């Protein structure tokens, strides 16, 4: 499915978790595509010599910090909820689940609500960085998978609710990416740069769900094929 497209040139973009990994690559790619301002949210305020980057102290679980950040941004076209937390667990510890939900679900929710007035004014867009684990839980990271599944549902609900206000909402689905989060995971991984490019391509092409790496593209293709076959069987019955 597609929604209205947005070019990145001359836009104001905000990226959470901008200090490393995919977030850092998103900041660089936004600048490469001509964004005029990139608000770089990070728990430790970034230092930069590039005056197009506006560092923003932003722990997405800290409501007061989120509010202050929103008060310090004048205009915004694109919010990228990238900050995320994921580590191994065995789904025995409630506190571990709550930590994952605090960042991946409630962090995304809180930042979105805080910046929604600016996005409504600009008829802007929201990008939520999710994971293939949102629809197919991974055995070693169940708390992460639950949190990403909830964030995926939040994304779909917001997409429906905000369409009437002219705000587009994109979901990013990706498999393993070569960042700190997957250090020690011995599988083929996409580069953060290639994922950042795929995310902005998706926004610029108006893709609702953005499949940002070869693994997520393969999973999506196989699901589409299975659905089509099931429909064929249904209509033949
Ligand atoms: N790597 C993968 O294979 C993969 C696959 C699918 C989806 N993703 C998603 O991609 C996004 C980026 O992850 P990554 O791969 O780039 O991992 P990463 O290198 O571990 O980066 C995670 C980022 O999130 C930030 N963060 C964590 N908790 C935060 C909080 N409370 N407030 C603000 N920022 C916070 C981190 O900041 P600090 O430096 O302060 O900790 C860091 O900037 C995440 O949403 C992740 O779930 C990653």
CATH of the domain at 46: 3.40.50.720
Please give the number of the atom of ligand 1 that sits closest to the Cα of 185.
3
pLDDT in tens, 108-137: 999 999 999 999 999 999 999 999 999 999
Question: pLDDT tens for residues 24-73?
Answer: 999 999 999 999 999 999 999 899 889 999 999 999 999 999 999 999 99
- 215: confidence class by pLDDT, cuts 50, 70, 90: very high
**Active-site position among 144, 152, 200, 211:** 144
pLDDT above 80 for 190: yes
- The reply to whether 1 falls in a domain is no
Active site residue 144: yes
In this structure, which residue's CA is closest to atom 46 in ligand 1? Answer: 84
Q: How far is the CA of 3 from the centre of ligand 1 (A)?
A: 26
User: Which protein residue's CA is at the shortest distance from atom 20 of ligand 1?
Assistant: 181
β strands within 29-106, DSSP E: 37-42, 53-57, 78-81
Give me the number of domains the chain comprises.
Answer: 1
Taking CA atoms only, the protein residue closest to ligand 1 atom 40 is 43
Q: Which atom of ligand 1 is nearest to the CA of 19?
A: 43
The mean per-residue pLDDT over the stretch 99-103 comes to: 98
Is 97 inside any structural domain?
Answer: yes
The alpha carbons of the chain give a radius of gyration, in whole angstroms, of 18
Domain extent, residue 49, equals 12-236
Residue 6 lies in a domain: no
Q: Are 79 and 14 in contact (CB under 8 A)?
A: yes
What was the pLDDT predicted at 237? 62
Ligand 1 atom closest to Cα of residue 144: 47
Give the model's confidence band at 233: pLDDT under 50 very low, under 70 low, under 90 confident, else very high. confident
pTM score above 0.85: yes
Mean pLDDT, the chain, whole residue set: 95
């Amino acid at each position: 499915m597609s929604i209205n497209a947005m070019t990145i040139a001359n836009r104001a973009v905000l990226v959470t978790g901008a200090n490393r990994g995919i977030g850092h690559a998103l900041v660089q790619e936004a600048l490469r595509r001509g964004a005029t301002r990139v608000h770089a949210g990070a728990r430790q305020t970034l230092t930069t010599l590039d005056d197009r980057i506006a560092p923003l102290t932003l722990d997405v679980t800290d409501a007061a910090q989120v509010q202050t950040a929103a008060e310090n941004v004048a205009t915004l076209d694109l919010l990228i909820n990238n900050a995320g937390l994921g580590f191994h667990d065995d789904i025995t510890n409630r506190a571990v689940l709550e930590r994952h939900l605090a960042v991946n679900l409630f962090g995304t929710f809180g930042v979105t609500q805080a910046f929604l007035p600016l996005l409504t004014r600009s008829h802007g867009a929201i990008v939520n960085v999710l994971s293939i684990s949102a629809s197919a839980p991974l055995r070693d990271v169940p708390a992460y998978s639950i949190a990403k599944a909830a964030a995926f549902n939040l994304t779909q609900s917001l997409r429906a609710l905000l369409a009437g206000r002219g705000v587009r909402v994109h979901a990013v689905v990706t498999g393993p990416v070569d960042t700190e989060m997957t250090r020690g995971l011995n599988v083929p991984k996409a580069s953060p740069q290639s994922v950042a490019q795929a995310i902005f391509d998706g926004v610029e092409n108006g893709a609702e769900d953005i499949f940002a790496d070869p693994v997520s593209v393969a999973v999506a293709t196989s699901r589409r094929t299975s659905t089509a076959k099931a429909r064929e069987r249904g209509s033949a019955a």
